[in-house]
Amino acid sequence: MYAKVRSAAVYGLESYQVEVEVDISSGLPNFIIVGLPDTAIQESRERVRSSIINSELEFPLKRIVVNLAPADIRKEGPSFDLPIALGILKATGQIKTNLIKDYLILGELSLDGKLRKVDGTLPISLQAKEKGVKGIVLPAQNALEAAIVNGLEVKPVNHLREALEFFNGEKEINSVQFNLESIFSGNIQYELDFSEVKGQEHVKRALEVAASGGHNVLMIGPPGSGKTMLAQRLPTILPDLSLEESIEVTKIYSVAGLLPHNSPLVMRRPFRSPHHTISVAGLAGGGQYPRPGEISLSHQGVLFLDEFPEFPKNALQVLRQPLEDGKVTISRVSTSITYPAMFTLIGAMNPCPCGYFGDRLRECLCSPSKINQYRGKISGPLMDRIDIHVEVPRLTKEELTRASEGELSKEIKERVEKARRIQRERFKGLKITCNAQMKPKQIKNFCRLTLDACNLLEKAIEELRLSARSYDKILKVSRTIADLDEKEVIEIGHIAEAIQYRSLDRNLWV
């Protein structure tokens, strides 16, 4: 007695189909699973057995062999529970129709036959649609996520019995529908707003520039000056995610199992702030079965690294390639996996180990060599990829007690969106979308300066002894500032502001 059930698994962000074959033959009762299953799948034997018996169905006292094909790819996770159970029911004749072959089946079983949610539903249903599968049967908690894909019958089930009744034609299950347009027409709300931050106007301006041009930022300031507060509010001024971007981000969260069950689509730009004890694998992604790391979880959003120099040196080095390419590749012996990782990096650091170098009120206790060592933890090549450095000084008493509210995030966001539109227009047909991604040749093409702006830049390079590296950064940032100003040619004011954002190059600090 043989039965075949279709299922699927995820590797990286890609999904592949898995055929669950069940063969039941006479012999002493035995239940084996082959096809490179991991521990979670081996344990599924116990879940399948108990849930079938507890659903008042018959579990055959025979030799059961389950094969997960293709047999040469390692399978993981509990999502094969339901297909295996249904395969057994089909092979023993408890499922009487052939309806089962039209559907892709996913789901983890609990011992009483109830279904639990599984990870990676979105990539699986996207691929199922591509392969022309008619529908997908899965735990009810995952239904909305799968329904993002149009043209796929999504049948939610809560219990093994319900699935059995559906495949026996005894029960109709309504397909879950999901209206993408209606969800995308609504405005996205954030709990945070820039108006809550007092003072620090120049930092807000720097973040506005960063949001407009996609530049990475390093904030330097003493403890308690508001670096974290400012960074947390950056997503509120970034332009809204487009549908494609949103689906891309949702895929990552789906695979990582981090989707909130009430909202199947990630609509807000992610903000991730991992602790500085994070490992390389935690940041970049990895593990025996590779999982997306923090940089991929902040795809299309903000990665905030507080206490920047305290991060392990190799963890910071790992950021270099993703910052350049917008993706990260994790290599394994058999395959390699690529996760997208296009994020805005916001680093925050103290000016010195004690935190009070250059402070107006407290004296710094650090020796110059200590300060140098602290700064040296962030390597040159990484520094290269950070366009904007901005000091976040301690607020004065007057600034703290001043009653006036700052500008609303909404107003800043409007300017940012305008600047982004100009950039999209400019880079049409090129592979880049914002100023921060410009290559040297494109900088030459797109960054035209007025005469006095040119003079100022030359003078600045000379007097401040700026490097060639800084020169490019200044041009890129000034391009963004000019876009915010809606100017075609970069003017002296734009250049002057951009020079302000190179404080670490100006060596004012040491």
Binding footprint of another protein on the chain (CB under 8 A): 26-30, 61
Residue 48 Cβ vs another protein, minimum distance, rounded to whole Å: 18
Name which of 53 and 510 has its Cβ closer to another protein.
Answer: 53
Name which of 29 and 368 has its Cβ closer to another protein.
Answer: 29
Name which of 61 and 508 has its Cβ closer to another protein.
Answer: 61
Of the candidates 3, 178, 184, 208, the one whose C-alpha atom is nearest the C-alpha of residue 90 is 3
Name which of 61 and 510 has its Cβ closer to another protein.
Answer: 61
Beta strands in 239-332 (DSSP E): 271-272, 285-286, 291-292, 302-305, 327-331
Residue 331 Cβ vs another protein, minimum distance, rounded to whole Å: 40
Residue 91 Cβ vs another protein, minimum distance, rounded to whole Å: 18
Name which of 26 and 369 has its Cβ closer to another protein.
Answer: 26
Please state, in angstroms and as integers, the Cα–Cα distance from residue 377 to each residue in 14, 309, 316, 381, 417, following that order. Answer: 36, 6, 9, 11, 35
Query: What distance in Å separates the CA atoms of residue 182 and residue 369, rounded to the nearest whole number?
Result: 59
Q: Say which residues have a Cβ less than 8 Å from residue 85's Cβ, sequence separation at least 6.
A: 48, 51, 52, 109, 160
Question: Taking a C-beta distance cutoff of 8 angstroms, is the pair 400, 198 a contact?
Answer: yes
Burial 383-398 (b: 16+ CB within 10 A, else e): bbbbbbbbbbbbbeee
Residue 89 Cβ vs another protein, minimum distance, rounded to whole Å: 20
Residue 63 Cβ vs another protein, minimum distance, rounded to whole Å: 8
Residue 59 Cβ vs another protein, minimum distance, rounded to whole Å: 12
Name which of 30 and 455 has its Cβ closer to another protein.
Answer: 30
What are the residues facing 302 on neighbouring strands?
A: 271, 344
Residue 21 Cβ vs another protein, minimum distance, rounded to whole Å: 20
Residue 27 Cβ vs another protein, minimum distance, rounded to whole Å: 5
The single-letter code of the amino acid at 392 is V
> HSE of 99 in the Cβ direction (CA atoms, 13 Å)?
18
Residue 54 Cβ vs another protein, minimum distance, rounded to whole Å: 16
Q: What is the phi-psi region of residue 468: left when phi exceeds 0, alpha when psi lies from -120 to 50, beta otherwise? A: alpha
Name which of 30 and 177 has its Cβ closer to another protein.
Answer: 30
The encoded tokens of residue 180 equal 């993408």
What are the residues facing 337 on neighbouring strands?
A: 330
Please state, in angstroms and as integers, the Cα–Cα distance from residue 382 to each residue in 316, 320, 323, 324, following that order. Answer: 8, 6, 9, 10
Q: In this structure, what are the phi and psi dihedrals at residue 502, rounded to the nearest 5 degrees?
A: -120, 40
Of the candidates 139, 183, 178, 184, the one whose C-alpha atom is nearest the C-alpha of residue 159 is 139
Name which of 25 and 242 has its Cβ closer to another protein.
Answer: 25
Residue 136 Cβ vs another protein, minimum distance, rounded to whole Å: 37
Name which of 28 and 451 has its Cβ closer to another protein.
Answer: 28
Name which of 32 and 258 has its Cβ closer to another protein.
Answer: 32
Query: What distance in Å separates the CA atoms of residue 341 and residue 328, rounded to the nearest whole number?
Result: 6
Residue in this structure with the two tokens 């670490």, named with its chain if needed = 504
Residue 25 Cβ vs another protein, minimum distance, rounded to whole Å: 9
The single-letter code of the amino acid at 85 is A
Of the candidates 30, 239, 8, 280, the one whose C-alpha atom is nearest the C-alpha of residue 133 is 8
Q: Is 245 helix (H, G, I), strand (E, B) or coil?
A: helix
Name which of 26 and 404 has its Cβ closer to another protein.
Answer: 26
